[in-house]
A and B are shown apart, each in its own frame.
Chain A
Amino acid sequence: MTTHEEFESLAALDAVGAATADEAAALRSHVEECPACANAQAELAEAATLLARGLDPVQPPPEVRERVLASIGQHVDEDEDDDNVVRPFFNRWWWSAAAMLFLALWGWRELAVRAEREKSVTAEAEARHFSEENALLTERNEKLSAQIAAIAAAGTKTIALTGQAVAPSASARVFLEPEARRAIVFFANMPANASDRSYQLWIIRADQPKPQSAGTFDVTQTGKASITVENLPVATEIKGLAVTLEPKGGVEQPSNTNFYVSGGV
């Protein structure tokens, strides 16, 4: 079960286009029914535009402007010379009839153009929806296959993490797949975290004095959770793994040493 805070974290990634298809689809579905998360998503999307607005403006060449205006059917001819315009004589009645005919044709054309635009927008939205659904299913399938393959692979190492003083009955099992630089960690009997807190998994490396975050996760009343760690630094020695409880969304470095589960690799 994904919480509102987790959806907000997903919205942060989505705002810079970094959410996976799976995450983006889950977020889209959630915000349709959750005004608070929809508001957070809108704020984060607005905040992401600061990255673009921090750039120094650059004037595009004038011909781009001409092309843009021409392509929407608005051509401004500033050099028009009224003296060269030949105006044949027609009586007022002809002009009225012509104007009415023109307006009728123009109105009909506008309606047709609008209908085409709407059809095009709907078709585009449908195509995008199916494409996203397809990407979502493909990604889920790949994720499940990867997890099964990781657990079953001959080279996969299994490591047990044990509960510490704050959660003695907690435990975790790590399936470490060195070739894929991936680890899947399944937690059990963990205390459920408060809505403003997240568990954070830390990698303790031999070559670095400080632990490195491997991601955050939440635990519900079932006491169970899992996390997949990609791009593991297998080239260097991993001394151990540990889990702390941190502010929602995680922190750069552990704020305390109350490990819930930990163990050597």
Chain B
Amino acid sequence: MTMNQTEQSTGLLTAVARGDADAFEALYDRYSSMLYALLLRILGSAEDAQEVLQEAFVKVWTNARMFDEARGSEIAWLISIARSRGIDRLRSRKIRNERENDAGREVSIHVGFTDKSTGADHAIRSEEGTAVRGALAALPEAQRVALELAYFEGFSQSEIAERLGEPLGTIKTRMQLGMKKLRESLRAFQ
């Protein structure tokens, strides 16, 4: 099983674009746990992550017609919407300092939800998760840290350079090399 198999479009977004509410429900069941994990990582607050998850899915419903399979996968489109909303919330509420103060706060993980994905879906995703974590672990620490500060914390190049005490050029080079490696990993999966 390769990652590419899970990247193939499920066709759900295309159906959602036609106003198919059942497809929307299936899309939510399939991807909400991954997007919620992303928003928790960005926002560090379950309450904020839940609000933004809701906003993100409403945006998916209203903008599904803008999804173009030729320009990227279904999963990448959904992640970009959720991340963008999450980073906007992070910036607008200036919760970055609050989160640093609340570093020890626990995030509750809810169980008992009826996940309508099939057993095969879980097996694929579990295998995909392992492959992705392997690709991330293969990145040099300095490159991974710089990429994560940009992707999850929404820091600019200058802010990352300031935070890590490195020249801006070093940070740019690290991020570019890191992305090059991730791109190669993605190709290897395919």
User: Which residue numbers of A lie inside 8 Å of B, CB to CB?
Assistant: 9, 12-13, 15-18, 20, 38, 42-62, 64-65, 67-69, 71-74, 76, 110, 117, 120-121, 200-201, 203, 212-216, 227, 229-233, 249-252
Contact = CB atoms under 8 A, between A and B. Distances in A.
A18 B156 contact: yes
Interface of B: 7, 19, 21, 24-25, 28-29, 32-34, 36-38, 40-41, 49-50, 53-54, 57-58, 61-63, 66, 71-73, 75-76, 79-80, 83, 87, 107, 109-115, 125, 128-129, 132-133, 135-136, 140, 147-148, 150-152, 154-158, 160-162, 165-170, 172-177, 179-180, 182-183, 185-187
B136 A250 contact: no
Contacts of A42: 71-72
15 contacts: A13-B157, A15-B179, A16-B175, A17-B154, A42-B71, A46-B186, A54-B129, A58-B37, A60-B33, A65-B113, A69-B25, A110-B19, A230-B167, A250-B177, A252-B177
Contacts of A121: 62-63, 66
B132 to A, nearest CB: 4
A213 B167 contact: yes
Contacts of B113: 59-62, 65
A71 B58 contact: yes
A71 B60 CA distance: 12
The dominant DSSP class at the B interface is helix
A181 B168 CA distance: 11
- Across chains A and B, which 9 residue pairs bring their CB atoms closest together, nearest first? A215-B169, A12-B179, A57-B33, A18-B150, A230-B168, A214-B169, A74-B21, A47-B182, A16-B150
A174 to B, nearest CB: 14
Contacts of A20: 156-157
A245 to B, nearest CB: 15
Given A51-B147, A52-B83, A72-B21, A58 B109 contact: yes
B133 to A, nearest CB: 5
Contacts of B162: 231
Given A45-B80, A60-B110, A72 B58 contact: yes
Contacts of B33: 57-60
A74 B135 CA distance: 39
A61 B49 CA distance: 11
B115 A72 contact: no
Contacts of B32: 59-60, 64-65
A72 B58 CA distance: 7
Nearest to A68: B57
B168 A43 contact: no
A48 B38 contact: no
Nearest to B16: A72
Contacts of B28: 65, 68-69
B186 A43 contact: yes
A230 to B, nearest CB: 4
Contacts of A12: 175-176, 179-180, 183
A110 B19 CA distance: 10
Nearest to A124: B63
**Which one of B58, B182, B186 has the greatest number of beta carbons of chain A within 10 Å?**
B182
Most buried by B among A12, A52, A203: A52
B77 to A, nearest CB: 9
Nearest to B189: A50
B167 A51 contact: no
A13 B175 contact: yes
A229 B148 contact: no
B34 A47 contact: no
Given A45-B76, A46-B73, A51-B148, A249 B173 contact: yes
